[in-house]
Amino acid sequence: MAQLTFREAIARGIAQEMRRDESVVFLGEDIGAAGGVFKGTVGLLEEFGGVRVRDTPISEQAILGAAMGAAMTGLKPIAEIMFADFFAVCWDIVVNEIAKSRYMTNGQMTFPLVIRSGNGGGLRFGAQHSQSVENWAMMVPGLKVVVPSTPEDVIGLMAASIRDPDPVIFLEAKALYSTKTEVPDGEIVDSLGTAKVLRSGSNATLVALGAMVPKAMKAAEELAGQGIDCTVVDVRSLVPLDTQTLLREISATGRLFTIEENPRLCGWGGELSSIVSEEIFYDLDGPIVRITTPHIPLPAADALEDMAIPSVERIVSTVNKSMNS
């Protein structure tokens, strides 16, 4: 076992797959000599060289255009878009080209392409560098969407994403880059479309994603001291979505609280609420409650950003109020 930060796990996960498969290549801005703007790719250039690890110009369209072409011709590219907000610059390539080309060629072309990006707020970067864009990505047919919350999941889900024949959007919560946990030695390979039950309880189910997962766990501990025993489920994969695990855990407690960093309108919790209402409505003992960021551009000021993004305190108070009303 080794202690790894989230950012160190990114480099380990990519290196694991590059050692295993020479067709895996990596391209993006400042990923080589600089080791990534968030220091998530340190050491990759030195180990794999400038042919397989390529620094690119500051052009998201060029990065994804090159990655798409590489995937079409037999390589397995990993492309970095530095901030998830910058998907807005190259969204046409993602939505109209990468996501649809396998379908439009009737499977004659596969797209084993991973697009990884720093996602979300918490670091005071302001409205144009702090957006949680998982709701953008999950609504596009043809894309898979993965959001790990721990260093071990980063490595395992990165391996699963690189080995998958479809394009995967791999969103890394920037607020988690410095977090550290123990990670097993050796190869780690996970599977897409699997949620994890991190804590079992009998009164309510908290469903969280990315940077909201450790907050949900801390809130569950505080709620336990107040007599409310919560299950916590880490979604991990939005597309494919592990509905079996989610519905089972929600049905067992009869209460659902989603904890989402994305703005409220059209967030992933709305889709989950719809599925729950259709599939297990009569198992619910109360209304579904979504705890989200408001539908606003995220402020840069620390006090305002902290107020906007769901906090442990807001989770605890919302669950308490709903359960005792």
- Mean pLDDT of all residues in 11-38: 97
**pLDDT of the residue at 304:** 97
Partners of 145 in the β-ladder:
169, 239
**pLDDT of the residue at 325:** 79
Top CATH class of 2-183 equals alpha beta
**pLDDT of the residue at 23:** 98
CATH architecture of 196-320: 3-Layer(aba) Sandwich (3.40)
Domain coordinates of the chain in residue numbers? Answer: 2-183, 196-320
pLDDT band at 22, cuts 50/70/90? Answer: very high
**pLDDT of the residue at 95:** 97
Cβ atoms of 25 and 70 closer than 8 Å: yes
**pLDDT of the residue at 1:** 84
Q: Catalogue the E-assigned strands of 11-166.
A: 24-28, 53-55, 76-83, 114-119, 144-146
**pLDDT of the residue at 214:** 98
pTM: 0.96
Cα(207)–Cα(184) distance, rounded to whole angstroms? 26
Q: pLDDT, tens digit, for every residue of 118-145?
A: 999 999 999 999 999 999 999 999 999 9
- Mean pLDDT of all residues in 178-187: 96
Partners of 168 in the β-ladder:
114, 144
When the pLDDT of each residue in the chain is averaged and rounded to a whole number, the result is: 97
Which candidate, 73, 76, 64, places its Cα nearest to that of 18?
A: 76
CATH fold match for the domains 2-183 and 196-320: yes
Q: Which residues are catalytic?
A: 129
Cα(164)–Cα(6) distance, rounded to whole angstroms? 22
Which candidate, 240, 247, 223, places its Cα nearest to that of 312?
A: 223
Q: pLDDT, tens digit, for every residue of 271-280?
A: 999 999 999 9
Cα(144)–Cα(164) distance, rounded to whole angstroms? 10
**pLDDT of the residue at 183:** 97
Which candidate, 186, 258, 166, 233, places its Cα nearest to that of 1?
A: 186
- Mean pLDDT of all residues in 180-200: 97
Q: pLDDT, tens digit, for every residue of 9-18?
A: 999 999 999 9
Helix axes 212-224, 312-323, angle to 10 degrees: 50
